[in-house]
Amino acid sequence: MPIESFTSDLELYGPRAGWPNRLTSAQCRRYCRRLARRHYENFTVASWLVPRAMRQHLANIYAYCRWADDLADETRSPDESLALLDWWEEQLRACYRHETSHPVFVALADTIGRFAIPIDPFADLLVAFRQDQRITRYETSEQLLEYCRYSANPVGRLVLYLGRCHDGKRGRLADSISTGLQLANFWQDVAEDRDRGRVYLPRARCRRYAYHESMLLGREYNEAFRQLLSAEVNEAEGWLRRGLPLVALVPPWLKLQVALFVHGGLAILEAIRRQDYDVWTRRPEVPRREKLRLVLRCWWRLRRGTLLQEAP
């Protein structure tokens, strides 16, 4: 969220706010909806695609993730972030003991109870946010995928819990989609992450394609970088496509959402390809009109039963 909004919310509801700072349950739910609309530009659109009864629960989960993300990224130092993330985990565990009065957790408690969501996916996300304070480079692709296990995969599993369809097979397929989408976002945001001091391109891959550290520091686009990012984009596409069979295994109301997770990630990768992998000069974007066409194409192919056979 914008730093001004984060600071204001931290003063109102942070560890030094002066507990108890109790709101009614209705006020807590409104706070989560407002937070989601204010900071996630696609939330309103996403809300139209799910049953009305599910929209509040999506907002509650988003609010939890938004707060954790801001506690990790919008502070003055890694040490302060780590301390705040510890406090956030204390609030999470208090929520599972039915002892919290933080507005996010008051609202989230209803979602947790209704859908029998275990604490693990929420806690796993905090592992990734803490890791961001300590690690800014990854040596191997395997290390990066292990990071995705905590930074992305829990979100996919939370969606399955909302669909009351979480099990081993569906969980693995959701992990594949989540990992692919996380990688797509990494390769879309190489320049932005680099400016923030984080590089997700594994060093071993950089060496394989002779893309040297001096080139990275200089934000240099050359043939070595083009080949490097092309390989990473292809791998991300593989993760997304391997998860696509999940669409057939979730409840009807969730099928379009899952399809859009996959095809939205594929659209990001295609935008990178259209720029010939030059993400240093300009951030690849999926235009709003293309997003709308993507929704309509996925909806139509689901109706025809051809989504799993056709390319996006």
Residue 270, burial from CB neighbour count under 10 angstroms (0-12, 13-18, 19+): middle
Report the C-alpha gap between 159 and 260 in whole angstroms. 13
Nearest CA to 184 among 41, 61, 284? 284
What is the per-residue pLDDT for 40? Answer: 57
3-class SS of residue 150: helix
CB-based contact 233:273 (threshold 8 Å): yes
Q: How many CB atoms lie within 10 A of CB 262?
A: 24
Report the C-alpha gap between 312 and 310 in whole angstroms. 6
3-class SS of residue 205: helix
Structure tokens at 267: 């659209």
What is the per-residue pLDDT for 47? Answer: 61
How far is C-alpha 16 from the chain's CA centre?
28
- Helix axis angle, 141-151 relative to 168-188, nearest 10°? 110
Report the C-alpha gap between 177 and 152 in whole angstroms. 9
DSSP H or E run through 75: none
Averaged over successive runs of 10 residues, the pLDDT of the chain (312 residues) comes to 66 76 87 83 58 92 95 89 96 95 95 98 97 95 98 96 97 98 97 94 98 96 98 98 96 93 95 98 92 89 79 46
Report the C-alpha gap between 30 and 164 in whole angstroms. 24
What is the per-residue pLDDT for 312? Answer: 45
Domains of the chain: 1-134 (1.10.600.10), 135-312 (1.10.600.10)
